[in-house]
Amino acid sequence: FGKSAHQWHKELSHLEDAHRLFNAKQVDEQLVELRRDIARLELDLRGIGGMTYSETEVESAIQHSNRTLVDTSKANSAFRQVVGKFLGHAIHEQRLLNQWHEIFTERFSEVAAYLALDQSQYTADQLFSDLCKFRELYQQTSLCKLGTVLSKPSKSLS
The C-alpha atoms of residue 33 and residue 38 are separated, in whole angstroms, by: 9
pLDDT value at residue 70:
62
Residue 142 neighbours by CB under 8 Å, 6+ apart: 6, 9
* DSSP-derived secondary structure letter, 123: -
pLDDT for position 1: 45
Amino acid at 20: R
| Per-residue pLDDT at 90 | 93
Residues 6+ apart with CB under 8 A from 44: 83
Count CA atoms within 13 Å of residue 158 on its CB side: 3
pLDDT of residue 131: 83
Whole-Å CA distances, 12 to 16, 19, 73: 8, 11, 56
pLDDT tens track of the chain, all 158 residues?
A: 455 555 666 667 777 777 677 777 888 899 999 999 999 999 888 887 654 545 565 566 556 655 665 677 777 778 888 888 999 999 999 999 999 999 988 988 898 888 888 888 888 888 888 888 888 888 788 777 766 655 665 555 54
